[in-house]
């Protein structure tokens, strides 16, 4: 049975090669401008081969989408060693924004692009597991904050969604070039300052 094992392994290898090429290409040129033929050229195979490893283009994007969440989770996990929940919440916020600005292509796919969510719904992937996991980290931290006496009279779920919305807004408006309306003196630091501003709102000292 060693042969079929090796074949299985080789299949996985080519699949990984395709994913890596796709990843590199769309970090370099953007998701929209990366074509199947571009990927095929990069790995020096014919375009058709890709359809033996992925159902369609959106399945490739979905795979990268998952990789992105695993990257983000890897960065979030260490923060759970921060015992003060408010400090942890702030650290998560900064971490989120930093991730977005350092990996705009990935962030785009994870939180802005339509495609990967379409795929999730089409395939009936009922629970968007990676996303739920990340959101749950936020939910838990906010629940901890409430237990610690912060956010009087607030519910966890709307609060978590609002905090997420704020950091997503800060990052995505920047990524999608909507910050031109901001006073030029603030352009370079506006995301950072906006984040600090959120800190002051959720934790008036």
Binding site for DNA (CB under 7 A): 3-4, 6-7, 11, 14, 34-38, 45-49, 51-52, 56-58
- Residue 124 binds a second copy (CB under 8 A): no
Q: Which stretch binds a second copy (CB under 8 A): 39-47, 60-68, 76-84, 164-172?
A: 164-172
Q: Is 167 among the residues that bind a second copy (CB under 8 A)?
A: yes
Of the residues 79, 117, 143, 146, which one makes contact with a second copy according to CB under 8 A: 117
First to last CA, the chain: 66
Angstrom distance (rounded) from CA 129 to CA 121 = 13
Q: What's the rounded Cα separation, in Å, for the pair 186 and 171?
A: 15
Place of tokens 């370079």: 188
Q: Are 71 and 54 spatial neighbours (Cβ–Cβ below 8 Å)?
A: no
For residue 163, the minimal CB distance to a second copy (Å) is 9
196 binds, among DNA, a second copy, none (CB under 5 to 8 A by kind): a second copy
Question: d(Cα 95, Cα 195) in Å, to the nearest integer?
Answer: 11
Burial class (CB in 10 A: 0-12, 13-18, 19+), 27: middle
Among 85, 93, 105, 131, binds a second copy (CB under 8 A): 131
* 115: helix, strand or coil: helix
Tokens of 170: 């800060």
- Taking the C-alpha atoms of residue 87 and residue 68, their distance in angstroms, rounded to an integer, is 25
Quote the least distance from Cβ 43 to DNA, whole Å: 9
How many residues in the shown chain lie near a second copy by CB under 8 A? 53
The single residue listed with the structure tokens 């501003």 is 197
Closer Cβ to DNA, 55 or 147, answer by number: 55
Among 53, 111, 141, 145, binds a second copy (CB under 8 A): 111
Q: Does 105 bind a second copy (CB under 8 A)?
A: no
By CB under 8 A, name the binding residues for a second copy.
Answer: 32, 111-114, 117-118, 120-121, 127-128, 131-132, 134-136, 153-155, 157-159, 161-162, 164-170, 172-173, 176-183, 186, 190, 193-198, 200-202, 204
């Amino acid at each position: 049975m060693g042969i079929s094992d090796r074949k299985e392994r080789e299949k996985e290898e080519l699949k990984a090669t395709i994913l890596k090429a796709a990843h590199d290409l769309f970090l370099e040129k953007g998701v929209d401008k990366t074509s199947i033929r571009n990927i095929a050229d990069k790995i020096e195979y014919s375009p058709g081969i890709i359809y033996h490893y992925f159902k369609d283009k959106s399945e490739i994007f979905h795979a990268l989408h998952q990789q992105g969440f695993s990257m983000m989770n890897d960065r979030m996990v260490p923060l759970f060693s921060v015992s003060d929940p408010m400090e942890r919440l702030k650290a998560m916020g900064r971490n989120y924004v930093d991730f977005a600005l350092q990996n705009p292509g990935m962030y785009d796919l994870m939180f802005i692009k339509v495609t990967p969510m379409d795929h999730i719904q089409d395939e009936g992937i009922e629970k968007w597991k990676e996303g739920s996991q990340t959101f749950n980290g936020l939910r838990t931290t906010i629940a901890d904050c409430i237990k610690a006496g912060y956010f009087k009279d607030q519910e966890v779920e709307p609060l978590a969604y609002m905090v997420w919305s704020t950091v997503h807004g800060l990052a995505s408006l920047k990524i999608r070039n909507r910050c031109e309306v901001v006073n030029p003196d603030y352009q370079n630091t506006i995301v950072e300052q906006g984040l600090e501003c959120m800190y002051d709102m959720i934790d008036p000292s």
